[in-house]
Structure 1
Amino acid sequence: MTELVQQEVAGRANVKGLSNKSAPALLTTPQDMEDAVSGVVALGVEAAADDQVAALIVSAFSDPGLKELRARVSIPVFGIGEEVFHEAARGGRAFGIVTVTPDEKLLASFQSKADELGYGHLYRGVQVTPGDPMKLVASAEHLDAALAMAVQASIEQGDAEAVIMGGGPLSASAIRLQPKSEVPLLVAVNAAARSAIAVIE
């Protein structure tokens, strides 16, 4: 995802990626999100101590540790989930989410986030791809096919005018699928990068 951010800011800022090695590579349950918080905060606080760092991005769709990190540092902190919700709802646009994660509590958290940000009336729900998330993300071909079906369902069943790709590992698929989609497919990390660069420039 660091490469996506670097491409988005196009030389207007330097980007450094840090991995939270205390959390699973793919966050698929509320427990995974909770387990990621301490690592996110520790990495963020350490990074913010560098005078060259002007902003931080939490690059997990559920934004683990976002509030805690904001409370600990003085520089702007952006969560990719929060920022892509702002982008999806811009102009009063109805939006849905597609994801590979079937956990019911996690899916319910998307509605909570929409409500918390004031977009509950625009949120059209989530479409989940069938199958094992780990196996899906391991195959670009299978992931693209499954996500394309989920996107179409979001448009047809939810009247979504934009679709959020719910998770960092889905970013590359969104870019590949966008030319064939009738609505914008929003990549969370790119949304956060746009917000960050707007603040620090």
Structure 2
Amino acid sequence: MSTDTDRRRTILLVNPNTNADTTDRMVAKANMVLTGTGFRTVGVTAARGPKMIVEPQALENSARWAVDAAMVGIDRYQPVAVIVSAFGDPGADELRSRVEIPVIGIGQASILEAAQDGRRFAIATTTGLLADAMNDLVQWYCPTGDYAGLWLTEGDPLTLAQDTTASVSQLGSAIDGAVAAGARAVVIGGGPLSEPAQVLSLRTDATVIEPIPSAVRKALAEFSVSECSSTRS
């Protein structure tokens, strides 16, 4: 059973995909970022939907299941913040209307981090059918940003998700295209793509933005702000 101290320092990660193994990997990545902070991440997985969201209808449908999973997790863990860990941020807006703690989408966080200080940025992703949804996120969260555009890999995203070597090769080519267009930061558009993103960050002069660490950093920042506000009031 969690103690009150555990709960006060818990961040809930919601996986809108139904693959529990993916949830575990994303939670592990988040907890690496939290090392030494006194916080922890716990994960919940959507009960229904695809194992990996790769097309617009699945993204739209996943919102309700993400919200349901999040509400169960919030009731159980009493977290200080929630991370919606699919790049289209499904269900994030509804959650914000239902809870008072920060709700961070990994798309939101990584786009804002990539665009900071006015730098030119781009997105590289394996899920080409979600291109419009990703471009819409940029317009929503960063309408005046210096956006170089979206670069896509070739081949089936489900296959690439199981093959890190192929993902590194394909995403590397996408990053090269973005850098050639002037991007100084490139977001890797997908929560389960942290491993290839980490490899690629060592192979390019551009800053490679991993969505989950971005979301964790934003959650910590928002928690710190809310703590200061609460102390002063």
Instruction: Indicate the residue corresponding to 1:192 in structure 2.
Output: 215
Bigger mean CA deviation after superposition, 114-123 or 73-82? 114-123
What are the within-5 Å matches in structure 2 for residues 140-151 of structure 1? 140-151=164-175
TM-score by length of 2: 0.81
Q: Which moved more, 1:41-50 or 1:76-85?
A: 41-50
CA RMSD, 1 decimal: 1.4
Are the equivalent residues in 2 in contact too, given 1:111–1:120 (CA < 8 A)?
no
The answer as to 2:31 corresponding to 1:6 is yes
Is the CA contact 1:114–1:120 (under 8 Å) kept in the aligned structure 2? no
Residue pair 1:101, 1:128 contacting (<8 A) in 2 also: yes
Opposite residue 149 of structure 1, the aligned amino acid is S
> How much has 1:92 moved relative to structure 2?
0.3
* Residue 138 (structure 1) aligned with residue 162 (structure 2): yes
* Superposition deviation, residue 51 in structure 1: 6.1
State the match for 2:142 in structure 1.
118
Q: Is the CA contact 1:130–1:146 (under 8 Å) kept in the aligned structure 2?
A: yes
Q: Deviations over 1:24-63 (max 9, x none)?
A: 1211111111121111111112222246411110000000
Q: Number of residue pairs matched? A: 198
TM-score, structure 1 as length reference: 0.93
Indicate conservation of the 8 Å contact 2:87/2:134, yes or no: no
Assess if the C-alpha contact under 8 Å between 2:151 and 2:177 holds in 1. Answer: yes
Counterpart for residue 179 of structure 2: 155
Kindly indicate whether structure 1 or structure 2 has the higher relative contact order, using CA contacts under 8 Å at least 6 residues apart: 1
The CA distance in 2 between the partners of 1:23 and 1:58, in whole Å, is 15
Distance in structure 1 (CA, Å) of the matches to 2:137 and 2:40: 30
**Alpha-carbon distance in structure 2 between the residues aligned to 1:97 and 1:51:** 33
What is the letter of the counterpart of residue 83 of structure 2?
A: I
Q: 1:161, CA displacement in angstroms?
A: 0.8
Contact 1:59/1:80 (CA < 8 Å) preserved in 2?
yes
- Displacement of 1:124 in angstroms is 0.9
Distance 1:135 1:43 in 2: 27
Q: Percent identity?
A: 32
Show CA shifts across 1:123-172 (max 9, x none).
1111110111111111111111111111001111x211100000012111
Instruction: Report the counterpart of residue 93 of structure 1 in structure 2.
Output: 119
For the residues of structure 2 that align with 1:152 and 1:135, how far apart are their CA atoms? Answer: 22
Residue 110 (structure 2) pairs with residue 84 (structure 1): yes
Closer/same/farther in 2, CA of residues 119 and 93 from structure 1, 3 Å limit: farther
Structure 2, unpaired ranges of 5+: 1-25, 225-233
1:37 matched residue in structure 2: 63
Distance 1:49 1:71 in 2: 16
Deviation at 1:193, TM superposition (A): 0.2
Q: Which amino acid letter does the alignment assign opposite residue 8 of structure 1?
A: V
* 1:177 aligns to 2:200 (yes or no): yes
Letter of the structure 2 residue corresponding to residue 60 of structure 1: A
Q: Choose 1 or 2 for highest CA Rg.
A: 2
Alpha carbons 2:111, 2:142 under 8 Å: kept: no
